[in-house]
Structure 1
Amino acid sequence: MDTQAHLPLNQAAADPPLVMLFRHNLWANLRLLDACAALDEEQLAATIPGTYNTIHKTLNHIVWSEEQYLSDLTGREPESRLWSAGGPVLVDVARLRAMAQQNGQGLMDVAAGAAAGEVVILEGDGLRWHTPVGLILTQAINHATEHRAQIMVILTQLGLEPPDVSGWAFSQEFVRPISIE
């Protein structure tokens, strides 16, 4: 695991709450990507009804979406596009992990500087929308959480133990028990 996602308690505890939420999101994405890195091609191609798509395509979708949210929030084009004129471009789990790390750090940076009432202008289909930054940040968290859960259901159906990406599991990396005497 990358140490940037895992800070000592005093550093992580200093995060504003919204940054902590995005730190957890990054940690959970990396934890799931690490678990999926051990899968073979057949397992990565697995899906079940009610989920977005295959494990591999859903991982790509999570990372591509976070790349797009970050681009929408910063106005900067992504360094590596996972989308071409022909549709989504699938990349391997190792590259996804590196991209997730970069996107996650960028989203934490945006979250750290987000101000109440701040909006960005989104454009598409000849229309423009003034969209609250908080709404895009909310969507980023909700979207990743939903798709991670879908992948974990597929893993369970394959007979594999999915990683624990709960807030409590995340806290165990930062909170040290204190003995009561």
Structure 2
Amino acid sequence: MTTGLPNFFEYNLWANLRLLDACEQLTDEQLDATMIGTFGSVRETLMHLFASEEGYVRSFTGTTPTPPLKELTTFVGFDELRRRAELSGKALITISKERDLSQTFYLDGGTYECQAYIVAIQAINHGIDHRSQIATLLSQQGIELPALDAWGYNDSMY
């Protein structure tokens, strides 16, 4: 079996869906709590996380779902977030298998130049960072998320 970048994106999708499953059980008060050092509330962080994933996919494909999450100002709900997470997650898996990651991208209206593999790295890093922030927000409220790390992923496969 060949392993590589697609495995990272398979893990990322698994962790995102598991996070959504856990957060869906929270109260409005728990979802809206904030603290210094995190992006925002759980709801805001989830919207940002999946809006960004759509943006990473757009960098490769030039397309995004309509309307893009980044244009929405209210929480779309867990069913829609799960649908969006699956779309962007599966697209990133396919991209990591099929695209030339050495191609040069000109992002931010052409003002920022980087190779495609940088966008792939950012997508993975960004997901881990914000899942960790949500875990911090919840742990400060006495709520423990299921394992979202590589060990949890490994254990879920057996």
The TM-score normalised by the length of structure 2 is 0.91
Are 1:72 and 2:72 counterparts? no
How far does the alpha carbon of each residue in 1:33-62 deviate from its partner, in whole angstroms, 9 at most, with x for none?
100000111111011111000000000100
How far the C-alpha of 1:89 sits from its partner, in A, is 4.0
Contact 2:42–2:134 at 8 Å: present in 1 too? Answer: yes
From 70, 91, 96, the equivalent of 2:81 is 96
CA contact (8 A) 1:70 1:106 kept: yes
Structure 1 residue ranges without an equivalent (≥5): 1-13, 177-181
Aligned partners of 1:82, 1:46: CA distance in 2, in Å?
A: 21
Aligned to 1:119: 104
Q: SS of the counterpart of 2:156?
A: coil
Report deviation, 1:147: 0.5
- 1:173 corresponds to 2:156: yes
* Residue of structure 2 aligned with 1:132, choices 85, 102, 115: 115
Take 1:88 and 1:112, find their aligned partners in 2: how far apart are those partners? 33
Partner Cα separation in structure 1 for residue 36 and residue 113 of structure 2: 36
2:38 counterpart of 1:55: no
Deviations 1:106-152 (A, max 9, x none): 0000011133522233242xx44442110000111111100100000
Per the alignment, residue 35 of structure 1 pairs with: 22
Q: Secondary structure at the match of 1:83?
A: helix
Rounded Cα–Cα distance in structure 2 between residues aligned with 1:50 and 1:128: 29
The structure where helix makes up a greater share of residues is 2
Alignment deviations for residues 50-96 of structure 1 (CA, whole Å, 9 cap, x no partner): 10000000001000000111011111233441133xx6442112211
The whole-number CA distance in structure 1 between the counterparts of 2:151 and 2:138 is: 21
Query: What amino acid maps onto 1:36 in structure 2?
Result: C
Change (3 A) 1:138 1:157: same
Instruction: Kindly indicate whether the alpha-carbon contact (under 8 Å) linking 1:37 and 1:94 is maintained by their aligned counterparts in 2.
Output: no
Report percent identity of matched pairs: 35
Larger Rg: 1
What value does the CA root-mean-square deviation take over the aligned residues? 1.7
Aligned twin of 1:159: 142
What stretches of structure 2 of length at least 5 have no aligned partner?
Answer: none
Secondary structure, aligned partner of 1:78: coil
The one of 22, 36, 42 aligned to 2:9 = 22
With 130-139 and 22-31 compared, the bigger mean Cα shift is at 130-139
